[in-house]
Structure 1
Amino acid sequence: MAKVTAADVNKLRKTTGAGMMDCKNALVEADGDFDSAIEILRKKGQKIAAKRADRDSSEGAVIAKVNEDATKGIIISLNCETDFVAKNDDFVTMAHKMADIAINHNSKEEFLAAQFSDKMTVEEKITEQTGVIGEKLEIGDFRVLEAAFVGSYIHAGNKIAALTALSAASDGAEEVAKDVSMQIAAMNPVALDEKGVQQDTIDKEIEIAKDQLREEGKPEEMLDNIAKGKLNRFFKDNTLVNQTYIKDNKMSVAEYVKTLGDVKVVGFERVALA
């Protein structure tokens, strides 16, 4: 049997994030072979992942990243079972490292198949860490946004992240895009503008408005016109460019973005964990 040194255990721990005893036991089982020990830890993760497959993984960390020239942004959520794990510094660091990899990919499947290290893919890393942490881990959301300029914001606690796409890159675009991303995180708009609101949502809002008006005793022939007014209010409160800008209630988000010049918001993404 090969001698397992403290240095060997520490090296495996740094590579995998596994606990000291798990690393020592894996090295002993692998007769000191480092790669075999990693495989043993991965198989342990596979067993735990299978046992916990039906668990709810509604906690985690939501991370937004933008590439170097600010033309592409991504949001991923690395989900886990408990808030205790979600707040762990090592878990958040891993989520950020995964986001750094995700920025180079355009689909969740492509991202999961990408190399996390020279030893394993992102998906294999998630499986391995399931064994290390003892909770179900998975990538929940994977969003991509591309434009002339993309800015991002991660809310404190890593529970909400947002991306904003602008029609042009200009002086001040980074600050404005971050401010608008903060607006998106806080106000959760349903669409970019009224054209982006789904018809079933519009129909539902009109029916709600009419029901309220009937309860108030308004005549049936007046309901359509009054309901349209209420719908316009819904658009103002719930579509991004029409919302009142939270840092200056004298202007809309669209008006704030126009302080950059001939620039518009052309898209956004928002991911939140309950």
Structure 2
Amino acid sequence: KAGRDASEGLIETYIHLGGKVGVMVEVNCESDFVAKTDDFKQLVRDIAMHIAAVNPACVSRDDIDPAIVDAERKIAEGQAEGKPEQAVAKIVEGKLNKFLAESCLLEQAYVKNPDQTVQELLTAMIAKMGENMVVKRFARFQVGA
């Protein structure tokens, strides 16, 4: 299903905290039929609410600026300084993976069920509906930020 074109879908807006935080998210699926279902609409709304609450930096690892990853790697290397040489690579990789999991929407623990990532939520809906679904993009706005 992952290779199939997801060119239909919805754009959802969500306003939180009395107008202090706003989110716009685009989630695509393969057919207009699925895009109109209550399950798909709820999924897109839940993802928008998650973005408002957790403030991810990007959709996936592919979207994050390599300069940010390099800067985080240097920070992790500095923190691992003085540790045994064989442990440094593992420490740096672990800290980098943690940073990416906190920054990337699809890897974040889903706010309504922390035992599940947003990707796992999406994968479950793909299995239920039988269609590929993709979080295409989002924008999050916050007053005073």
Q: TM-score, normalised by structure 2?
A: 0.78
Per-residue Cα deviation, 1:161-212 (whole angstroms, up to 9, x for no partner) = 0112112125222211111111111111111111111011101111111111
Could you say which residue in structure 2 is the equivalent of 1:76? none
Question: Aligned AA for 2:13?
Answer: S
Does 2:25 match 1:164?
yes
Could you say which residue in structure 1 is the equivalent of 2:56? 189
Could you say which residue in structure 1 is the equivalent of 2:84? 219
Structure in which a larger fraction of residues adopt strand: 2
Question: Aligned AA for 2:43?
Answer: V
Q: Distance in 2 between matches of 1:155 and 1:222?
A: 43
Could you say which residue in structure 1 is the equivalent of 2:72? 205
Q: Distance in 2 between matches of 1:212 and 1:250?
A: 29
* Structure 2 gap segments, 5+ residues each: 1-6, 30-34, 127-131
Per-residue Cα deviation, 1:88-120 (whole angstroms, up to 9, x for no partner) = xxxxxxxxxxxxxxxxxxxxxxxxxxxxxxxxx
User: RMSD of the TM alignment (CA)?
Assistant: 1.9
Could you say which residue in structure 1 is the equivalent of 2:12? 151
The structure whose Rg is larger is 1
Does 2:38 match 1:174?
no
Q: Distance in 1 between matches of 2:86 and 2:122?
A: 40
Superposition pairs for residues 1-274 of structure 1, below 5 Å?
148-168=9-29, 169-171=35-37, 172-214=39-81, 217-220=82-85, 222-261=87-126, 262-274=132-144
> Do the aligned partners of residues 147 and 268 (structure 1) sit closer, same or farther apart at CA in structure 2, a change above 3 Å counting?
farther
> Do the aligned partners of residues 221 and 250 (structure 1) sit closer, same or farther apart at CA in structure 2, a change above 3 Å counting?
closer
Question: Aligned AA for 1:149?
Answer: L
Q: TM-score, normalised by structure 1?
A: 0.43
Q: Distance in 2 between matches of 1:248 and 1:173?
A: 18
Cα displacement (A) at 1:228: 1.6
RCO higher in 1 or 2 (8 Å CA, sep ≥ 6)? 2
Identity %: 29
Could you say which residue in structure 2 is the equivalent of 1:143? none
Aligned residues: 127
Q: Distance in 1 between matches of 2:117 and 2:36?
A: 20
Which stretches of structure 1, 4 residues or more, deviate above 4 A after TM superposition?
none
Tell whether the 8 Å contact from 1:153 to 1:182 is kept in structure 2 after alignment. yes
Could you say which residue in structure 2 is the equivalent of 1:65? none
Secondary structure of residue in 1 paired with 2:50: helix
Cα displacement (A) at 1:257: 2.2
Tell whether the 8 Å contact from 1:258 to 1:264 is kept in structure 2 after alignment. no
